[in-house]
Amino acid sequence: MNKETTILWLLVVASFVGVIDSAYIGLTSLSDTLIPCGLTLGCDEVLSSPYSHLGNVSISWIGLLFYLSIASNSIFGLSGFRKAFKITLAASALAFLITLYLLYIQILVLQAFCDYCLLSAFLVILILGLQLKLYFWEKTELSS
């Protein structure tokens, strides 16, 4: 397995976890039940705050679309199609900025943390890192 394939598979795995995470939060937002928190104590506080919604829609659904786009692009990449790589790289950069904002909200505004949000933040950073690595690797491969 070459470097490109390895990175693409890692992107598929990371976005798979991301889809589960965001779909779980999204589904929970549709019901009135409390969300169980494992490592932190503030899941319900964070996920019921106004920052977690755009209007009445949980922002986790936007996260779900992001992870699906990364997964689709990586799967197409593994199959030999590489059309939208730059678009998903831009989406990852935007997701990274949103993640920074949401981390700021958790640390300084709400002073509460949620496992699922921290996992998502980690995944976004990982995905951006992997995409940048792939981008620069391809650039050097093409120039050499």
Partner 1 sequence: MPKNTSPTGNRSRDRKRSKKKSPSILTPVFLIIFFVVSAVGVALYLKYSKPGGVGNQTPSINNSSNIASVLSTNGWTKGNGAAKAVLVEFGDFQCGACATAQLRISKITEQYGSRLKVVFKQYPMQRIHRNAMIAAQAAEAAGQQFKFWEMHDLLFERQNRWAQVPDAHTIFLKYASELGLDLARFKRDIWDSKIKEKIYRDVMEGQIAQVQSVPAFFLNGKPLRNARDDAEFENLILEGIQSIQ
Neighbours of 44 (CB within 10 A): 16
* Closest CB 137 distance from partner 1, rounded Å: 21
Q: Tell me if 93 sits within 8 A of 128, measured CB to CB.
A: yes
What region, left, alpha or beta, does residue 80 occupy, with left being phi > 0 and alpha being psi -120 to 50 degrees? Answer: left
Structure tokens that stand for 58 in this block: 């949980």
Nearer to partner 1, 37 or 127 (CB): 37
* Closest CB 90 distance from partner 1, rounded Å: 20
* Closest CB 136 distance from partner 1, rounded Å: 24
Helix (H) or strand (E) holding 58: strand 57-58
* Closest CB 72 distance from partner 1, rounded Å: 5
Nearer to partner 1, 42 or 129 (CB): 42
Nearer to partner 1, 15 or 99 (CB): 15
Residue 23: exposed, middle, or buried by beta-carbon count in 10 A (0-12, 13-18, 19+)? Answer: middle
Nearer to partner 1, 27 or 100 (CB): 27
Residue 34: exposed, middle, or buried by beta-carbon count in 10 A (0-12, 13-18, 19+)? Answer: exposed
Spatial CA neighbour of 24 closest among 72, 67, 87:
67
Nearer to partner 1, 122 or 144 (CB): 122
* Closest CB 143 distance from partner 1, rounded Å: 25
By the criterion CB under 8 A, which residues form the site for partner 1? 12, 16, 19-21, 23-24, 27-29, 32-34, 36-37, 41-42, 44-45, 47-48, 68, 71-72, 75-76, 78-81, 111-112
